[in-house]
Structure 1
Amino acid sequence: MTFARTLLCTLLCLGSLPAFALSEQGQQQLQQLQGRWAEINYQLPKKQREAAFATLAEQAQQAVKAEPGAAELLIWRGIILSTQAGAKGGLGALSLVKQAKASLEQALAADPKALAGSAYTSLGSLYYQVPGWPIGFGDDEKAEAMLKQALALNPEGIDPNYFYGDFLQRNKRYAEAKVALEKALQAPDRPGRASADAGRRAEARQLLAEITKKLE
């Protein structure tokens, strides 16, 4: 699986209440970013995604400028930049994933529990998908630690279970990966996130089918 393809799935859509409430406008912007992200990632043709994500990343940046302390918006800026990197592919995507990492780290500093620990899930997924030194900052140990922290905050969530399952299968820990992916498929629906949930479940089912064959 290529670097570009692996980063395409970097996306998170968790819907818990924030520790520090956004303004009404901020909430609206967050919902718009989430909705548009799902449209681009799961409905647009691949050739159109990079440009669409670039536009959405600029919108996320403007939202962050309006409410710079909002962890939720920082998280989504990181998510959008990382999926833009996946759509771009190649070494040229590394600058985008570094920006995504910085945004997610800012979110952790502001509120590590925001969006049920989504920053941990997003950072964890970056750490296992980005190449390691000297090209990038990839680190499987950090990835697993962050994904486990995400699961501690949101044990039933579709995204932390999916990404942990993906991490495990890349490390050939297939039996553990199967358990995580089955749990992801059993995750409850998220209000207002029907498109994202459907897309993530489709990814989980496909990956689970591949793992099941390896375990036979």
Structure 2
Amino acid sequence: MRVRVATTALSITAALLFLPACSIDTPGAKRQAPSSTRTGKSADAVQKPAVPSSAALKSGLLDQSDLGSGYLRKPERPAQHDDVTVIGCPALSELGGDAATGGTLAFPHKAKADFTYGGSSSEISEELYSDSAKKLSDGVARIFDAMTGCPNYQVVAGGSPVDVASQKLPTPHDLGDEQWSQLLTFSTGGRNTVVKQTAIRDGNLLLIVSGSPALVDRHLDKALVKATAAS
């Protein structure tokens, strides 16, 4: 089965394209079959009424002083609008037009920062979004479920095929109201790249941290503390 997924969708879907921007090589990494469920408190629980603005989200992003030595801010890349072909994943196909065009998954307020660590050998990306708690919860859950709903699938971007495997990971239950986490293994040209992606919803705020698993684990807590304080 083939489905066209635009790279202008919510950034979790854009993680399919993380490989060209990341070089966290793990030779011989083993593919793992996925499963996906959301955890944490219901989005129908008591919610924070305010929806942070994009300016507030931007002020809540981690910077080099938060991360420590060895981190360099990457310049913002122009938005890409090229289509990506996904082969072998009905779960992604079922997302339909919303995932392909941004639709209801294009949250109204957003901010993003990308960093390299130790030269260009490792990368970490932080994204902040705001909307109603229900919209954040439903939108993120749908995409995480789709991405981890297939044991293995293939992405063709720019004529280069990339094999993808995903695995649901345990989530930090003590952070925020809801949590999602997954491990994506990208394989191409005999090399494997592993990207960890963890999302936390705290009221009307959504934090997504992606990149080297070690860097995600190291900075997740401080990212949430700074983001919630700014909002």
Pick the structure with more strand per residue: 2
Q: Which has the higher contact order (CA 8 A, sep 6+)?
A: 2
Q: TM-score, normalised by structure 2?
A: 0.29
Q: TM-score, normalised by structure 1?
A: 0.30
Decide which structure has the larger Cα Rg and report it.
2
